[in-house]
């Protein structure tokens, strides 16, 4: 003993990676009380706390740096943004002012053109008046300008005028004379229309009618002077509707305008007025002319050329502001709005707005609210201001003009805005971001390295704590911490390597030399514990079970069971030492002494056995029905044991001594489903008042090296205890313990397993559903559609031949195999199909006869073996529909089996032999299956399996080929199969792939049908006994030629030599199943040799 070493309590906290399936199975059934409180700081917390102060200081410093970077970026970028925004505003404001100045200049130029055109028309009329009225008899009133349309057309075009007209001054005294003159000379209209028709070809009406015979106007006709419209352009096509003969002086505003014209002897521009009465006659342009504001330019016409008085007529020009702005805004950018209104006090104050859009100018209307247009800049201009009047030849001093307001909308601003502010701000932010990114990247890698070191230390510490008692682990870590530093004075790397070495996570090359030297110089960590109870628990039947299951199933089983044991050990304060294969080793009484160690371990073992029984029902649905045959075998012994750490590359906490050996012997000599304890432990339980827990074993056990020793069985049926293990009653029954009814139900299920328990049905349904989902996926991947002629598919089902069909030489297979499909694709069968599949599996199970061998349990064993073969190969050479049909064949191949061989049926001239000429049992199973499958209640299931007549035919061929292949006793049929395979091998690469796959289907079903002969010796014995019992029953009932006992020993050898080994050899020649075939062939040869050696002894026990 080393009294200086203090051993502390440790509860095993296994680091076991469980699959999701095993977690759900284990956690659901095993309820574990909250474990006793542990230390306030876990190993992970301790490792994470290393350098905590330094880490906080560093993190605070980094936060300050981050904050400074962010604030600097924000301040500089915002300042830059606003500075560049101001510069941008100055830029586009300057551009706007330049554009508006050009716009005003263009507008004034256009107005000047209109004034010039009006003046030219007045001059032309004056000259004509001089020529036509030389005597001044009519004072220039009775004058008609020839070809007025030519003059008006030219002047209107240059002056942007819509209407140009001449109105002579007609005194009241000369009115009648002038009216007669007008009626007499109105043919000028016909002449102008004819001229326009020849020039422009756009005049349709050459008969304009008659003008009004008298001057007309508004109000009472009492004026002393009249100003009737005489000649005008555009020439009216309907004289009766034209304003010719209309007295302009009958309009008040025009009379005022004329008086100002007479007074100033200069042209005058009106305010914007309603001029519909003038433009109404021009129908071909009415919509454009009426829809926009207009003004009138009045030019006085003198009687003599060059005279300043003697006005005889007025030149009238009607101008639309829309025409002006269409011209002056044509080259401007979109987004400009102009307002125009008169600046005279007598004006009505209305404002008229026009907007330049992409490709056109739009009149917005009168007094429009410009708020929705997002006005950014506004500029006002006076057109022909009084301070800067036009030339005196055009306008007088009393003229008041218009105010032009120009607006720039956001649309205009966006076109000229350079957005340099955004670019500058982005550039500043980018510079700061890059600087921050460099800093962050550097900090990230530093932090990652620190986290890696810390996490590695934490994980290693947690692993060490789970493998060793707490103070043992603390002492080992302390030794490493006090180890000498390395050559560079760095102890952290030494400790890291040493911790990994203690946890077993480093390789020999990675182990620190200094850490190893330190561990060698340290004193051994070991102690003797005199009061302990040790448990060995082994899974009975595990070896033969694992031989027929894939590795993932094996580890799912072990992880699920042992994880449940770990939880119970944590609750009971039992220390888990290790697991060796399927053996679970635990001890109670160390490192802390435990006075009731035997009682605690007894409860622990009993709870583990209960947990195993509960887990089996869950695991059976996933791992197969044969999982229910597994059970635990426990061995317990109380005695002294030496415990300590063996250092090295893989340090381990180990137990040594005679107690370990004896516990192992107690376990191995126990029985399945029972807790076997030594006499020493039984005596301690008796002393603890638990004598009612134990019963002495009747037979004496001979333990290797110990001789014959008395042992006991443990049972806790009448004990109730609390979560802490304190006994509360000795009489009441613990509801958590297995009752006698549970035990009877378990025994009954094991004896009557041929009665198809619901678990078996569920397992088959789930496996078939998984395969059927892949059939649907393959169909979707191929793009197959449902057969439009469902009636034809029903006819094909009714005419399909199963029992009387012969196997095919070659079956045509799909090129899309199961290996080509996406294994991660999520898909499920619909509820109706799944319910029908479960009902179908149940009906097939019910159709099996209760024979010892040819029953549904044997069919399940065949399916399990086939499942293992299919999953062993990563790239299945079979398409999904073939796989489904093959597995379904394995499940139904012996349905309604008569319990005797085909040879016996033929010898008896049985009804089946009369119906079927060969393989009557197998052909009968085919027809029984098809009759059940074709029930109306399974329609959705059938339509999921096959949807076309081609799929139905392929399904039928595989089913017939597979089930008839299970008749391996018929030597002629088997020889034909072997010959076809050998022919395909001789042809080599020239052999058709379908021919080889057809042979593969037959070989797979044959190997699985007799798989028990190529598996673990215990499995072979189990099914060999069942077949022997079945044939013995047949012989006793007079349905057998010989007693099986007479030929069984030699018959089995012949069966191996003639059938089993050849079938395994054929499978090993298949590339996809070469490895599995070789393994099964080796097992078959070993079983044959074992039968030769011990077969007679086995036969004597049957």
Asked if 100 contacts 381 with a C-beta cutoff of 8 angstroms, the reply is yes
The mean pLDDT value for 992-999 works out to 79
- Tell me: the pLDDT tens digits for 905-956? 988 899 998 999 889 999 999 999 999 999 999 999 999 999 999 999 999 9
Question: Rounded distance, CA 1018 to CA 119, Å?
Answer: 129
Q: Which residues pair with 320 in a beta bridge?
A: 294
The pLDDT of residue 95 is 80
The pLDDT of residue 206 is 59
Residue 380: other Cβ atoms inside 10 A: 10
Residue ranges of E strands in 523-646: 526-529, 533-540, 575-580, 583-588, 631-638, 641-646
- Sheet containing strand 360-366, strands side by side: 360-366, 352-357, 336-342, 402-409, 375-383
The pLDDT of residue 1076 is 79
Average pLDDT along the chain: 77
> Which of 670-679, 711-720, 884-893 is the least confident region?
711-720
Res. 500: pLDDT tops 80: no
The pLDDT of residue 638 is 94
Question: Rounded distance, CA 902 to CA 944, Å?
Answer: 34
> Which of 733-737, 792-796, 951-955 is the least confident region?
733-737
Binned at pLDDT 50, 70 and 90, residue 684 comes out as: very high
The mean pLDDT value for 893-902 works out to 92
Res. 134: pLDDT tops 90: no
Half-sphere exposure of 436 (CA within 13 A, CB side): 18
Residues sharing a CB contact under 8 Å with residue 776, sequence separation 6 or more, in sequence order: 827, 829, 944
**What is residue 54's three-state secondary structure?**
helix
Q: What percent of the chain has pLDDT over 90?
A: 21
Higher-confidence residue of 780 and 26: namely: 780
The pLDDT of residue 522 is 64
The pLDDT of residue 821 is 55
> Which of 79-83, 91-95, 655-659 is the least confident region?
91-95
Res. 356: pLDDT tops 60: yes
The pLDDT of residue 987 is 61
What is the bridge-based pairing of β-strands 294-302 and 311-320? antiparallel
The single-letter DSSP state of residue 453 is H
The pLDDT of residue 8 is 33
The pLDDT of residue 162 is 83
Res. 173: pLDDT tops 60: yes
The pLDDT of residue 4 is 35
The mean pLDDT value for 214-233 works out to 86
Res. 1082: pLDDT tops 50: yes
Identify the residue whose tokens are 């393959």: 778
For residue 362, give both structure tokens: 């739009």
Share of the chain residues as helix, strand and coil, in percent rounded to the nearest 5: 55, 15, 30
The mean pLDDT value for 557-562 works out to 92
Res. 785: pLDDT tops 60: no
Res. 898: pLDDT tops 80: yes
The mean pLDDT value for 243-247 works out to 90
Cα dihedral 87/88/93/98 (nearest 10): 100
> Which of 264-268, 475-479, 577-581, 778-782 is the least confident region?
475-479
The pLDDT of residue 37 is 39
297 — phi, psi (to 5°)? -110, 120
The pLDDT of residue 98 is 82
Asked if 113 contacts 317 with a C-beta cutoff of 8 angstroms, the reply is no
Res. 332: pLDDT tops 70: yes
**What is residue 677's three-state secondary structure?**
strand
* Helix residue ranges per DSSP H, 19-51: 20-29, 43-48
Asked if 619 contacts 25 with a C-beta cutoff of 8 angstroms, the reply is yes
**Cis previous bond, 661, omega within 30:** no
Binned at pLDDT 50, 70 and 90, residue 707 comes out as: confident
> Which of 461-470, 744-753, 791-800 is the least confident region?
744-753
Q: Which residues pair with 165 in a beta bridge?
A: 232, 316
Residue 214: other Cβ atoms inside 10 A: 12
Nearest CA to 540 out of 697, 707, 682, 675 is that of: 675
Which helix (H) or strand (E) is 965 found in, with range? helix 949-965
Nearest CA to 667 out of 584, 598, 552, 782 is that of: 584
Question: Rounded distance, CA 261 to CA 275, Å?
Answer: 19
Question: Rounded distance, CA 197 to CA 237, Å?
Answer: 11
DSSP-assigned states of every residue in 290-344: HTS-EEEEEEEEESSTT-SS-EEEEEEEEEEHHHHHHHHTTTSPTTEEEEEEE-S
**What is residue 247's three-state secondary structure?**
strand
Binned at pLDDT 50, 70 and 90, residue 786 comes out as: low
**What is residue 698's three-state secondary structure?**
coil
Question: Rounded distance, CA 357 to CA 365, Å?
Answer: 15
Q: Is-above-0.85 flag for pTM?
A: no
Residue 412: other Cβ atoms inside 10 A: 24
DSSP-assigned states of every residue in 478-534: HHHHTSPP-TTS-HHHHHHHHHHHHHT-S-TTTS-HHHHHHHHHSPP-EEEESS-EE
The pLDDT of residue 1078 is 82
The mean pLDDT value for 616-639 works out to 84
Res. 454: pLDDT tops 80: no
Question: Rounded distance, CA 607 to CA 719, Å?
Answer: 12
Higher-confidence residue of 810 and 608: namely: 608
The mean pLDDT value for 221-233 works out to 87
The pLDDT of residue 67 is 87
Binned at pLDDT 50, 70 and 90, residue 492 comes out as: very low
- Tell me: the pLDDT tens digits for 416-430? 777 777 788 888 888
87 — phi, psi (to 5°)? -60, -40
The pLDDT of residue 151 is 83
The pLDDT of residue 121 is 86
The mean pLDDT value for 632-649 works out to 87
> Which of 285-294, 642-651, 1066-1075 is the least confident region?
285-294
Res. 888: pLDDT tops 90: yes
Residue 503: other Cβ atoms inside 10 A: 23
> Which of 287-301, 787-801, 873-887, 1056-1070 is the least confident region?
287-301
- Tell me the range of 1-10, 446-455, 822-831 where mean pLDDT is highest: 446-455
The pLDDT of residue 207 is 64
The pLDDT of residue 383 is 67
Res. 3: pLDDT tops 80: no
Residues comprising the chain, all counted: 1102
The pLDDT of residue 563 is 92
Higher-confidence residue of 706 and 185: namely: 185
The pLDDT of residue 988 is 55
The mean pLDDT value for 469-482 works out to 62
- Tell me: the pLDDT tens digits for 359-391? 788 888 888 888 777 776 777 777 654 444 443
Q: What percent of the chain has pLDDT over 70?
A: 76
């Amino acid at each position: 003993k080393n009294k200086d070493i203090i051993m502390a309590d440790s509860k095993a906290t296994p680091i076991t990676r469980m699959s999701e399936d095993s977690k759900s199975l284990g956690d659901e059934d095993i309820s574990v009380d909250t474990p006793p409180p542990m230390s306030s700081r876990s190993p992970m917390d301790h490792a994470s706390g290393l350098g905590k102060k330094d880490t906080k200081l560093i993190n605070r410093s980094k936060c300050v740096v981050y904050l400074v970077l962010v604030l600097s970026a924000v301040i500089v970028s915002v300042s830059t943004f606003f500075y560049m925004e101001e510069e941008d505003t100055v830029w586009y404001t300057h551009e706007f002012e330049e554009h508006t100045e050009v716009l005003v200049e263009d507008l004034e130029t256009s107005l000047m053109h209109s004034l010039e055109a009006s003046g030219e028309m007045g001059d032309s009329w004056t000259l004509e008046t001089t020529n036509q009225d030389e005597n001044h008899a009519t004072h220039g009133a009775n004058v008609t300008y020839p070809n007025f349309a030519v003059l008006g057309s030219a002047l209107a075009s240059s002056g942007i005028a819509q209407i140009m007209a001449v109105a002579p001054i007609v005194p009241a005294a000369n009115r009648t004379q002038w009216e007669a003159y007008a009626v007499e000379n109105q043919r000028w209209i016909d002449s102008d229309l004819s001229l326009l028709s020849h020039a422009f070809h756009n005049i349709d009406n050459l008969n304009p009618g008659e003008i009004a015979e008298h001057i007309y106007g508004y109000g009472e006709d009492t004026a002393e002077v009249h100003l009737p419209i005489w000649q005008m352009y555009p020439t009216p096509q309907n004289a009766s509707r034209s304003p010719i003969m209309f007295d302009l002086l009958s309009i008040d505003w025009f009379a005022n305008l004329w008086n100002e014209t007479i007074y100033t002897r200069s042209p005058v521009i009106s305010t914007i007025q309603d001029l519909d009465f003038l433009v109404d006659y021009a129908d071909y342009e009415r919509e454009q002319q009426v829809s926009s504001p207009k003004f009138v330019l009045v030019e006085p016409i003198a009687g003599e050329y060059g005279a300043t008085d003697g006005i005889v007529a007025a030149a009238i020009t009607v101008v639309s502001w829309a025409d002006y702005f269409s011209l002056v805004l044509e080259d401007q950018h979109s987004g400009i709005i102009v307002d125009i209104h008169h600046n005279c006090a007598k004006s009505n104050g209305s404002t008229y707005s026009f907007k330049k859009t992409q490709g056109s100018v739009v009149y917005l209307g009168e007094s429009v609210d410009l708020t929705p247009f997002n006005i950014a800049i506004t500029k006002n201009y006076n057109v022909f201001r009084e301070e800067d009047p036009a030339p005196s030849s055009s306008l007088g001093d009393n003229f008041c003009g218009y105010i032009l307001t120009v607006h720039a909308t956001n649309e205009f601003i966006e076109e000229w805005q350079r957005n340099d502010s955004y670019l500058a701000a982005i550039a500043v932010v980018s510079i700061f971001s890059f600087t921050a990114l460099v800093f962050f990247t550097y900090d990230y890698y530093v932090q990652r390295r620190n986290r890696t070191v810390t996490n590695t230390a934490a994980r290693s510490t947690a692993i060490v704590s789970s493998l060793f008692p707490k103070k043992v682990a603390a002492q080992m870590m302390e030794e490493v911490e006090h180890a000498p530093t390395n050559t560079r004075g760095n102890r952290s790397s030494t400790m890291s390597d040493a911790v990994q070495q203690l946890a077993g996570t480093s390789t020999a090359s990675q182990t620190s030399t200094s850490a190893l030297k330190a561990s060698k110089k340290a004193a051994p960590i070991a102690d003797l514990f005199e009061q302990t109870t040790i448990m060995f628990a082994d899974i009975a039947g595990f070896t033969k079970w694992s031989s027929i299951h894939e590795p993932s199933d094996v580890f799912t089983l072990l992880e699920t069971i042992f994880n449940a044991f770990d939880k119970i050990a944590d609750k009971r304060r039992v220390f888990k030492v290790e697991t060796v294969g399927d053996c679970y080793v635990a001890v109670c009484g160390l490192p802390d002494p435990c006075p009731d160690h035997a009682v605690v371990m007894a409860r622990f073992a009993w709870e583990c056995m209960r947990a195993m029984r509960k887990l089996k029902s869950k695991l059976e649905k996933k791992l197969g029905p044969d999982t229910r045959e597994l059970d635990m075998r426990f061995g317990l012994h109380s005695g002294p044991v030496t415990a300590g750490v063996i250092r090295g590359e893989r340090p381990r906490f180990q137990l040594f001594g005679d107690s370990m050996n004896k516990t192992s012997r107690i376990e191995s000599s126990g029985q399945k489903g029972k807790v076997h304890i030594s006499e020493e432990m039984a005596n301690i339980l008796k002393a603890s008042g638990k004598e009612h827990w134990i019963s002495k074993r009747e037979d004496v056990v001979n333990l290797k090296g110990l001789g014959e020793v008395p042992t006991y069985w443990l049972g806790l049926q009448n004990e109730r205890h609390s979560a802490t293990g304190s006994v509360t009653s000795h009489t009441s029954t613990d509801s958590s313990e297995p009752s006698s009814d549970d035990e009877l139900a378990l025994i009954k299920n094991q004896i009557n397993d041929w009665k198809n328990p619901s678990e078996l049905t569920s397992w088959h349904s789930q496996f078939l559903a998984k395969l059927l989902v892949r059939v649907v996926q393959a169909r979707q991947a191929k793009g197959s559609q449902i057969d439009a002629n469902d009636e034809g598919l029903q006819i094909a089902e009714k005419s399909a031949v199963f029992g009387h069909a012969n196997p095919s030489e070659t079956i045509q297979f799909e090129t899309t195999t199961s290996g080509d499909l996406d294994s991660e694709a999520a898909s499920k069968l619909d509820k109706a199909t799944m319910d029908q599949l479960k009902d179908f599996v149940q009906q097939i199970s019910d159709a099996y006869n209760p024979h010892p061998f040819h029953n549904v349990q044997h069919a399940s064993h065949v399916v399990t073996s086939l499942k293992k073969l299919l999953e062993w190969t990563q790239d299945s050479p079979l398409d999904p529909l073939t796989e489904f049909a093959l597995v379904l064949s394995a499940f139904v191949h012996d349905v309604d089996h008569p319990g005797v061989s085909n040879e016996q049926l033929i010898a008896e001239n049985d009804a089946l032999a009369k119906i079927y000429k060969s393989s009557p049992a197998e052909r009968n199973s085919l027809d029984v299956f098809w009759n059940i499958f074709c029930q109306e209640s399974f329609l959705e299931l059938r339509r999921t399996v096959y949807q076309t007549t081609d799929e139905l035919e392929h399904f039928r061929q595989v089913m017939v080929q597979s089930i008839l292949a299970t008749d391996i006793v018929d030597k002629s049929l088997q020889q034909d199969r072997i010959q076809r395979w050998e022919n395909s091998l001789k042809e080599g690469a020239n052999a058709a792939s379908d021919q080889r796959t057809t042979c593969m289907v037959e070989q797979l079903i044959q190997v699985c049908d007799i798989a028990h002969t190529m598996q673990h010796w215990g499995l072979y014995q189990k099914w060999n006994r069942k077949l022997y019992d079945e044939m013995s029953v047949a012989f006793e009932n007079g349905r057998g030629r010989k007693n099986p006992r007479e030929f069984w020993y030699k018959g089995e050898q012949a069966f191996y030599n003639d059938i089993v080994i050849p079938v395994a050899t054929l499978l090993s020649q298949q590339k996809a199943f070469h490895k599995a075939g070789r393994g099964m062939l080796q097992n078959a040869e070993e079983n044959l040799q074992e039968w030769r050696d011990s077969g007679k002894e086995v036969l004597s026990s049957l």
